């Protein structure tokens, strides 16, 4: 969705960062003394969620800049570290938990690169690996069109050695930019030192068309991933949420085939002189740091939001039970069955790529992959090792 209204917290001093956003959006900003003005603008509209996606509020982050992923009880967490740079999203996915998570749902950009830099310097000084991402409460690259923040973060992680002491070991941290967009232009000419992983959330064309309004197509996402690979970046993919429907197994198989064998290029956009449709090359397995998988799950209150905002969607009407974390989840045998299929499809192309589950229990791990990272921190350590192996400098 297009940003239509721009509010700026009057308490923030004018700076280059704000000027850049004003110029990029071409909007006349309204300066506010109190955030209640912004919240009322959203909450009093007929559709607060849509209004929140069309309203940008530039303010400061008054909480922690860096925080640990809260995970969920009773399910294995990957020990992700969140870099809190903004909230909400201009894209419109039916299943997005942020619709029910934020009150009000509002697109916020947190000004203060100096605060981010200072917080990152502190973790860079530690002799351990941090996997840091900006895609927990927003899409990492929706901001690329209006802000230079993503590019600045890539440069910051590339230069992290400056913050380390001479006694530091060989551990390093990486930035993960997770997206459903193709907003990668600003990443092209950066000396990233392989300390940024560009990641895409993937789904079947059917799910993208019906449930992911305003997102890039599957082929566009994979072509962007291939471009980033050409620029030397490592990439990652997240099959989350996997949606179970009749014919889904074959559809997900085709998605995985497209990752590794490539996608067709639209002849109307890019064809050879003889009119033959070109095939882009697939992603090399060694370029993939990890692939995560997880089925659709949701807080009960999200169902009514989906019904109201996506009346044609059937995503909330599957065979669900209440999980140990009080979220609605597919019946476990159904989850195990689709996981087994997807893991086997991936293994045909990339037997050594790290595959992990997002928020699943021991039985699912054992019956699908054959092991379970039982000890606290074990899954995080597995992901850290993949970082160390695949993200070393060129």
Per residue in 290-315, pLDDT (tens digit) is: 999 999 999 999 999 999 999 999 99
Residue 394: the pLDDT is 58
Q: The tokens 């109201």 sit on which residue?
A: 308
Does residue 389 carry a pLDDT above 80? yes
Segment 147-174 shows an average pLDDT of 83
CATH code of domain 60-103+111-390: 3.80.30.30
Residue range 168-193: average pLDDT?
91
Instruction: Enumerate the H helices of 162-217 as residue ranges.
Output: 205-211
Phi, psi torsion values for 297, nearest 5 degrees? -145, 150
Would the CA dihedral through 183, 353, 345, 335 be positive or negative? negative
- Predicted confidence at residue 142, as pLDDT, reads 96
pLDDT for res 171 = 80
Task: Give pLDDT, residue 74.
Answer: 66
Q: What is the pLDDT of residue 275?
A: 45
DSSP 147-169: -SHHHHHHHHHHTGGGGS-TT--
Q: Over 80: is that where the pLDDT of 57 sits?
A: yes
Q: Which two tokens stand for residue 352?
A: 């050594």
Q: Select from 183, 217, 182 the least CA-distant residue to 202.
A: 217
CA 278 to chain centre: 29
% of the chain residues with pLDDT over 70:
92
Least confident piece of the model among 108-117, 264-273, 353-362, 376-385: 264-273
CA distance 324 to 314: 24
Instruction: Fill in the DSSP letter of residue 223.
Output: H
Q: Rounded to 5 degrees, what angle do the CA atoms 179, 181, 184 make?
A: 90
Per-residue pLDDT at 169: 59
Residue for token pair 């003889």:
274
Question: Higher model confidence: residue 263 or residue 10?
Answer: 10
Question: Residues 142, 216: contact at Cβ < 8 Å?
Answer: no
**218 contacts 251 by C-beta, under 8 angstroms:** no
281: pLDDT strictly greater than 90: no
The model's pTM is 0.92
Q: In the prediction, which pLDDT does 68 show?
A: 83
pLDDT score, position 271 = 33
Highest mean pLDDT among 126-130, 242-246, 261-265, 358-362: 242-246
């Amino acid at each position: 969705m297009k940003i239509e209204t721009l509010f700026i917290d009057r308490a923030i001093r004018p700076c280059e960062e704000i000027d850049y956003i004003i110029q990029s959006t071409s909007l006349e900003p309204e300066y506010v003394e109190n955030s209640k003005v912004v919240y009322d603008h959203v909450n009093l509209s007929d559709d607060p969620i849509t209004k929140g996606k069309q309203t940008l509020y530039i303010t400061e982050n008054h909480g922690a800049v860096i925080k640990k992923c809260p995970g969920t009880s009773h399910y294995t967490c990957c020990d992700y570290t969140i870099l809190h740079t903004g909230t909400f999203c201009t894209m419109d996915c039916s299943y997005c938990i942020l619709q029910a998570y934020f009150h009000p749902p509002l697109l916020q950009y947190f000004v203060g690169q100096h605060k981010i830099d200072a917080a990152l310097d502190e973790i860079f000084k530690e002799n351990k690996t941090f996997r840091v991402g900006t895609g927990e409460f927003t899409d990492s690259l929706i901001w690329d069109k209006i802000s230079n923040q993503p590019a600045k973060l890539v440069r910051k992680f590339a230069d992290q050695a400056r913050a380390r002491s001479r006694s530091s070991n060989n551990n390093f941290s990486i930035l993960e930019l997770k997206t459903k967009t193709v907003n990668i232009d600003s990443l092209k000419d950066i000396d990233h030192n392989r300390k940024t992983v560009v990641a895409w959330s993937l789904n079947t064309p059917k799910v993208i068309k019906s449930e992911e309004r305003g997102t890039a197509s599957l082929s566009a996402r994979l072509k962007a991933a291939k471009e980033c690979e050409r620029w030397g970046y490592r990439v990652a993919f997240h099959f989350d949420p996997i949606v179970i429907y009749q014919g889904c197994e074959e559809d997900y198989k085709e998605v995985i085939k497209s990752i590794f064998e490539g996608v067709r290029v639209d002849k109307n956009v890019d064809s050879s002189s003889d009119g033959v449709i070109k095939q882009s090359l697939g992603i090399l397995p060694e370029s993939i740091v990890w692939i995560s998988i997880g089925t659709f799950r949701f807080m009960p209150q999200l169902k009514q939001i989906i019904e109201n905002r996506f009346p044609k969607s059937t995503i909330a009407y599957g065979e669900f039970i209440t999980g140990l974390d009080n979220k609605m989840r597919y019946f476990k045998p159904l989850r195990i069955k689709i996981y087994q299929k997807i893991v086997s499809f991936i293994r045909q192309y990339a037997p050594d790529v790290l595959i992990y589950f997002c928020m699943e229990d021991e039985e699912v791990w054992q019956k699908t992959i054959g092991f379970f990272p039982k000890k606290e921190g074990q899954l995080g350590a597995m992901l850290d090792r993949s970082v160390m192996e695949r993200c070393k400098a060129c």
